[in-house]
Amino acid sequence: MASPLPVILLHGAWQGSWVWEKFSPALAAAGFRPIAVDLPGNGADDTPAEKVSLDLYLTRLRRVLDATGGRVAVIAHSGGGVVASALAEAAPDKIAGIVYIAGMMLPSGLGYGDLVRSALPDHPEAAGISPHLIWSDDGLLSRVPTEAAIRHFFNDLPEEEAAYAAARLTPQAEGGRALVARLTPGRFGRVPRLYVEATDDRSVYIFLQRRMQALVPGAEVATLATGHAPHVSAPALLAAPVIAFLHRMV
């Protein structure tokens, strides 16, 4: 009997592996092996902010890949999408497929900040959480105030659950947030992709999600009427398209 396909779960900025607590059981029940990670400097990982970078993220994930001993799928939320794309570029033969959940599926060399700036003249709301961030004196770390997190990240959760999730966010190293991946058609471009768009997202707004889909064509698309984090607010709803996609990767 074949071993379950490992599925690496990548969180977004200010988050940690805890965001997958409600979603991981659905993957396991469907016959997959979820592996939720804390990226360096996030969640319970105490890597100093000045050491955090995309290269360090990839070094950590290559160790996870090596430990699995075979191919894996990757599910990435929000800013974790850039990391997933870079991992596919680095190890395309090991990546069976990528699922982006309201994720930053960006073309080579383009940062999410560049995408937002291009949208601001017509969509001032595109700034999302950025105007609300509280920065450390050295500019290496940012954190999200609770009320802003509830409005932008967890707007579709009941009030108490939203407040609980917002309270679990941790400071984010800027070296792990302002990311730009260098991608090629022959490596990243040959990995199957699913983009799960969230139409009530108040962080990565739907017009930004669809702009990224246009800039990086070729992904399957599933549409959910949720906020920014459906794996937290609507795990069963999210599971249906994700599991269907993953089954085709086995």
Asked if pLDDT for residue 6 goes beyond 90, the answer is yes
List of E strands, the chain: 5-10, 32-36, 72-77, 95-101, 134-135, 141-143, 172-173, 193-198, 220-224
CB neighbourhood size of 44 (10 A): 9
Return the domain boundaries, the chain.
Answer: 5-249
Q: How confident is the model at residue 226 (pLDDT cuts 50, 70, 90)?
A: very high
Mean pLDDT over 17-34 rounds to 97
Q: What are the b/e assignments for 125-164, b being 16+ CB within 10 Å? A: ebebbeebbeeeeeebbbbbeeebbbbbbbbbbeeeebee
Element (H, E) at 166: helix 159-167
Q: Give the model's pLDDT for residue 250.
A: 85
C-alpha span between 178 and 182 (Å, rounded)? 14
- pLDDT tens, 84-124? 999 999 999 999 999 999 999 999 999 999 999 999 999 99
> Per the structure block, which two tokens stand in for 245?
């996609």
Strand, helix or coil for residue 11: coil
183-207 pLDDT, tens digit each = 999 999 999 999 999 999 999 999 9
pLDDT above 70 (res 241): yes
C-alpha distances out from residue 1 to 77, 100, 134, 225, Å: 31, 29, 51, 37
Three-state secondary structure call for residue 74:
strand
As a CATH number, domain 5-249 is 3.40.50.1820
Overall pTM > 0.95:
yes
Q: Is the pLDDT confidence value at 27 over 80?
A: yes
Q: Are 27 and 52 in contact (CB under 8 A)?
A: no
Q: 3-class DSSP state for residue 250?
A: coil
Cα(100)–Cα(230) distance, rounded to whole angstroms?
Answer: 12
1 band by pLDDT with thresholds 50, 70 and 90: very low
Mean pLDDT computed over every residue of the chain = 97
What percent of the chain clears pLDDT 70, i.e. is strictly above it?
A: 99
Render pLDDT for 113-169 as a digit per residue (tens, 0 to 9).
Answer: 999 999 999 999 999 999 999 999 999 999 999 999 999 999 999 999 999 999 999
